[in-house]
Amino acid sequence: MSPAALPTFETLLYEIEDRVLTITLNRPDRLNAFNPQMGRDLIEALDHADADDEVRAIIFTGAGRAYCAGADLGAGGDTFDHTAATGDDPAEAERIHRDVGGLVSLRIYDCSKPTIAAINGAAVGVGVTSTLPMDIRIAGEHARFGFVFARRGIVPEACSSWFLPRVVGISRAAEWCYTGEVFDAAEALDGGLVRSVVPADDLMATARGIAENIARNTSAVSVALTRHMLWRLLGADHPMEAHKLDSRGVQYMGGTADAREGVESFLEKREPNYQLSPSRDMPDYFPWWVEPEFG
């Protein structure tokens, strides 16, 4: 995809360099507060990224001094009242409403490209829950986090009641959600929420170093299959499910040009030149899951 063909968005910046896509939340005047348009933009951006074989990894970050300060509270006390869209019928609103943050998290979960959050400042509410389906989170030294839902009279969203205990464990997840306290990057690191805390000036370079390592040295199809295997097997009830997928994956990939190139480049002590792409070379058994329905 040429630079002229890159999509544009109302609430995001979308930039590709050296096969790494950077998606920047771009409402700095509102501390990148999440609104429905940002949700739609993120889903569309991920659709573009998955369809573009030039994109090998995705970094998410925020413009200005925040990553994402949470939901935009511009509507005041009615911010989370979805009955307004359907008159005064709460039952109807409950029937049709889907949490937009959850739609974003599900789209990240479905993504076939590695995802990295470079958290440059406050990440609160949906600003932190939407990073949980990402593969790697790196915090700048000034980043702060908060699962503040109980302090706003609501409940965790963006599928975080599923993701957060899997990332940090049930006890830490419970404490952070029950208290709703905002905490610093050191606590996030101690709790396993982030992989590292780095000086603010080093944040993007650290994230890009990981992303470029993936782009230079790995098979795109191998990484796509691995990402889905790791995430989707979190709910498996027996390691036999992993054995089944491992066996199918090794059998498929072992006969491909990428496997030959991986071995030959290693033996010849050179960088690999992988040719397979997720848009056209995924195995016949992919996807192996049936997507659950909402309702």
For residue range 46-70, what is the model confidence (pLDDT) as tens digits?
999 999 999 999 999 999 999 999 9
CATH numbers and ranges of domains, the chain: 3-214 (3.90.226.10), 219-295 (1.10.12.10)
For the record, the structure tokens of 21 come out as 């896509």
Name the pLDDT band for 97 (thresholds 50, 70, 90). confident
Pairing of strands 182-184, 144-146: antiparallel
CA pair distance 239, 223, nearest whole angstrom = 20
- Contact yes or no for 107/46 (Cβ under 8 A): yes
For residue 72, pLDDT over 90 is answered with no
Number of Cα atoms under 13 Å in the Cβ half of residue 264: 9
Q: Examine residue 287 and say whether the peptide bond preceding it is cis (omega within 30 degrees of 0).
A: yes
- Across the chain, the runs of DSSP E, i.e. the strands, are 12-17, 20-25, 57-62, 66-68, 115-119, 122-124, 136-140, 144-146, 182-184, 196-198
Closest CA to 292 of 239, 235, 248, 214: 235
For residue 2, pLDDT over 60 is answered with no
For residue 91, pLDDT over 90 is answered with no
